[in-house]
Amino acid sequence: MSARAHGNGYTIVENASLRGRNTFGVDARAAMLVEVTQSESLAELFGYAMLKTQDVLVLGEGSNLLLTRDWPGVALSITARGIRVLDDDGRGARIRVEAGEHWNDFVHWSLGRGFAGLENLALIPGTVGAAPIQNIGAYGVEVREFVAEVETWDRVDARFVRFGNAQCEFAYRDSLFKRERDRYVVVAVSFDLPRQRELRLDYAGVRDELAAMRVDTPTPATVAEAIVRLRTRKLPDPARIGNAGSFFKNPIVDAARADALRREHPDLPAWPGGDGGTKLSAAWLIECAGFKGVRDGDAGISERHALVLVNHGHASGAQLWALAQRVREGVRDRFGVELEAEPRVV
């Protein structure tokens, strides 16, 4: 039995299982789990010696996390929920969302109230608090386009701090909060959402899916439905087989390297990557290196999508990470391109 204690806005559990708190379904434990239902309690919690002296792992829904071992310190789970419209001028609104809200629930909340912008980000797993940390993105849209402010607990200065969009230092699947995850705990995010916005339909498959749905005049809601259908068809459901979605980032290489690769492989998908770089398809590289559908015990690469590392049942985090390393080495040997893991690997 795990020892349990309750405080004002939080619960503490000793020797806690994290198996149900990571979408890989890895059987790992934390020396201590603190579940926070009121973000105001962080000021009290971080005054305790256990959070001052031990390593702290901040958890959302564990959908962007691979645990390769037990966590010897404190796992901090932010589960505070709530959505509040701060300002609405008829053309758009600023909406404050607690970090523990489920991301996909918030997307559909926004669409149901006539707001646009988040439709391409439908069905991404995880919490609202994790969204700016990872700068989540899909089908040609990134969350940074809509983030107005991120509220955090600053562990160094022991106070709540707010960051405007520019201060978040967003980049491709990156942010200030990801680079300084041992300092800032995200407690809420405010979004500026318009009621009308030009729809993003040019990402591969979106227009075809809308056509299959017989939608002639797309709306944010129908685009979200198309995205849900695409993601459901392409990506395995974590409820059925353990995974964290796309495990590798699309690599960005310099123009010379991209030109050389495309001369050798004319069908290699590539897009502008910013700052003169070229973004390559990690899925294409992995599949061409022969890893799609590969399985080593219960650790595997999905047969449906080469970017997805999967747990077929009882793989340990170490076994999953070992297979990921094999994939990285295989792509490096074949193409001279280095892949980077998208989830946090502990």
Q: 242-345: what CATH class?
A: alpha beta
Query: Helices 220-234 and 103-112: crossing angle, nearest 10°?
Result: 150
- Whether the per-residue pLDDT at 2 is higher than 70: the answer is no
Residue 212: in which H helix or E strand, if any?
helix 206-212
Query: Domain spanning 4-78 has what CATH number?
Result: 3.30.43.10
- Whether the per-residue pLDDT at 5 is higher than 90: the answer is no
Q: Taking the domains of the chain in order of start, what are their residue ranges?
A: 4-78, 83-194, 242-345
User: For residue 6, what pLDDT is reported?
Assistant: 80
Whether the CA torsion 315, 320, 321, 326 is positive or negative: it is positive
User: For residue 3, what pLDDT is reported?
Assistant: 66
3-state helix, strand, coil in the chain (%, to 5): 30, 30, 40
Summarize pLDDT for 251-295 with one digit per residue, the tens. 999 989 999 999 999 999 988 887 788 999 999 999 999 999 999
273-303 burial string, b = 16+ CB within 10 Å, else e?
A: beeebbbbbbbbbbbbbebbebeeeebbbbe
Decide: helix, strand or coil at residue 9.
coil
Q: d(Cα 325, Cα 253) in Å, to the nearest integer? A: 20
User: For residue 52, what pLDDT is reported?
Assistant: 82
Summarize pLDDT for 192-233 with one digit per residue, the tens. 999 999 999 998 899 999 999 999 999 999 999 999 999 999
User: For residue 49, what pLDDT is reported?
Assistant: 84
- Whether the per-residue pLDDT at 248 is higher than 90: the answer is yes
- Whether the per-residue pLDDT at 1 is higher than 60: the answer is no
Of 24, 32, 126, 13, the C-alpha closest to 71 is: 32
Over its C-alpha atoms, the chain yields an Rg (Å, rounded) of: 21
Positions annotated as catalytic residues are 173, 246, 342
Summarize pLDDT for 47-98 with one digit per residue, the tens. 988 888 888 999 999 999 999 999 999 999 999 999 999 999 999 999 999 9
Amino acid identity for residue 150 in this structure: V
Mean pLDDT of the chain: 94
Summarize pLDDT for 136-181 with one digit per residue, the tens. 999 999 999 999 999 999 999 999 999 999 999 999 899 999 999 9
Options 3.30.465.10, 3.30.70.1450, 1.10.3720.10, 3.40.50.300; CATH for 83-194 is 3.30.465.10
- Whether the per-residue pLDDT at 38 is higher than 70: the answer is yes
